[in-house]
Amino acid sequence: MIDKRPFAGLGGADHGWLKAKHHFSFANYYDPQRMGWGNLRVWNDDEIAPNSGFPPHPHADMEIITYVRQGAITHQDSLGNKGRTEAGDVQVMSAGSGIRHAEYNLEPDATRIFQIWIEPNSAGGEPTWGAKPFPKADRAGRFVTLASGIPGDEDALPIRTDGRVLGATLKAGESADYQLSPDRHAYLVPAVGAVEVNGVRLDARDGAAISGEPRLTVTALEDAEVILVDAA
């Protein structure tokens, strides 16, 4: 089953400094049919204006993964962590028992991100933050795991959940495959470019909620950058 969710039909909000689209219910957007997908709870498509951002605010009991599509995001939190994450790279925050953080676009141009929230395996625990570069050339023509709580994914940023976030960069005509267990939930979004997923076309920033598909074949109809979540 592949449930296509066109970008134009997503919920969202325009706060001036922030233009947001929500693949799932979030903030003032509520759709009882889109409360999550497995343990994937949030997928926000955010555009942040230059010299603006999210002031300090709290989180708890959530694994928060930020994939930077364009520009850069600058992070600061109550643990003393500071970092700037550039386009193509990833940061993760395990909110654990509680953390406050701020996320700013200090760049001269708009920053565009995917922010993905996955429910943790258990509540509490010490909060953590980390970031890592993932060169697009390293994921050319194949899926590479960016963040994961699944044993064996040692090269990925660690998260405390039964799930993984993957990325692939495909030239027009290239395909990449991914094996999906029958009890898993996948959610796929092309950050750039149009693709076909098992024959279903997705344009840039469309979403696809996937289950019951043992093998995903993603074929680029044009040069594309794809993000996939494999959730419990």
What's the whole-number mean pLDDT along residues 102-128?
A: 98
Tokens encoding 89:
């790279």
Diameter of the chain by CA atoms?
A: 47
At 206 the three-state DSSP class reads coil
pLDDT in tens, 142-172: 999 999 999 999 999 999 999 999 999 999 9
74-to-22, 58, 66, 103, 104 alpha-carbon distances in Å:
22, 17, 11, 6, 5
| Under 8 Å between Cβ of 174 and 221 | no
Q: What 8-state DSSP symbol labels residue 203?
A: -
Cα 163 to Cα 229: distance, rounded to the nearest angstrom: 7
Tokens encoding 96:
């654990």
pLDDT for the residue numbered 178: 98
What's the whole-number mean pLDDT along residues 187-216?
A: 98
Grade residue 46 by pLDDT with cuts at 50, 70 and 90: very high
Tokens encoding 118:
């996955």
Q: Which residues contact 188 (CB under 8 A, 6 or more apart)?
A: 197, 202, 207, 208, 210, 216, 218, 226, 227, 228, 229
pTM: 0.97
Cα 107 to Cα 182: distance, rounded to the nearest angstrom: 43
pLDDT in tens, 50-68: 999 999 999 999 999 999 9
| Under 8 Å between Cβ of 167 and 139 | yes
Q: Is the dihedral of CA 156, 159, 161, 164 positive or negative?
A: negative
Nearest residue to 47 (alpha-carbon basis) of 110, 107, 90: 110
Q: What is the Cα 103 distance to its own chain's centre?
A: 16
Nearest residue to 129 (alpha-carbon basis) of 91, 100, 103: 91
Strand order in the sheet with 72-77: 52-59, 99-105, 72-77, 82-86
Mean pLDDT across the chain: 97
At 94 the three-state DSSP class reads strand
Q: Which residues contact 104 (CB under 8 A, 6 or more apart)?
A: 51, 52, 53, 54, 73, 74, 76
Hey, what domains does the chain have and what are their CATH numbers?
A: 9-134 (2.60.120.10), 137-231 (2.60.120.10)
